[in-house]
Copies of this chain bind each other. A is one copy, B any other.
Amino acid sequence: MTSATRRRADAERNIEAILDAALTRLGRDPSASMTEIARAAGVGRVTLYGHFPSREALVDTLFDRSLADADAVLGAVDVDAGRADEALARLVRSSWRVLDRQRTVLTVALRVLGPERVRDRHAGVLARVERLLRRGRDEGVFTAAAPPGWQVTAVYTLMHAAALEVDEGRLDAADAAETLVSTILGALGGGPPGSGR
């Protein structure tokens, strides 16, 4: 191993340790300082600031990774096959799996980056939802009486509300996916798949 390779491996290990520590510390206390994060990661402040100039930059990177996770999982869902409400149910179940494991990142991102930036960064994810909603509206599976932009917001809002409810112990994580599917399909004027409307 050359010394350049070794330095790169060290840097990568430090970055992972910093991101792990940031998630744990900020998840417990959203106002945790960079000094506390450096200590928890077992690195010096100079190393920490060398990789991340601010708490925001740190949270940005954590959030980017969670969105990449979402993108990979949702990209594997076939949203063009079958009825639009059944496809949406699949998309909601897959989204929930990602959201559930990224709940702490979401909570931290909402606090540090703010709800507007969190929503803006979901544009790619929400474009998938909107495409499917439009198909469902065209097929008469979802109501066309409400604006499509509102329907996208309803899906986004209900999913994130469920994540916060689970976080605060008001909703059981095991039931959340099916509760979300039926709430969301109902909100879109759908109802459960196969209910023979």
Interface on A for B, CB 8 Å cutoff? Answer: 110, 115, 143, 145-147, 149-150, 153-154, 157-158, 161-162, 165, 170-172, 175, 179, 182-184, 186-191
Contact = CB atoms under 8 A, between A and B. Distances in A.
A191 B191 CA distance: 9
Contact of A157 (B145, B161, B190): B161
A109 to B, nearest CB: 13
Contacts of A172: 147
Q: Tell me if A's interface is mostly helix, strand, loop or mixed.
A: helix
A154 B158 contact: yes
A57 to B, nearest CB: 21
Q: Which of A154, A172, A184 has the most CB of B within 10 A?
A: A154
Given A186-B188, A187-B183, A154 B161 contact: yes
Nearest to A160: B157
A1 B53 CA distance: 62
A164 to B, nearest CB: 8
A161 to B, nearest CB: 4
A84 B10 CA distance: 63
A83 B23 CA distance: 47
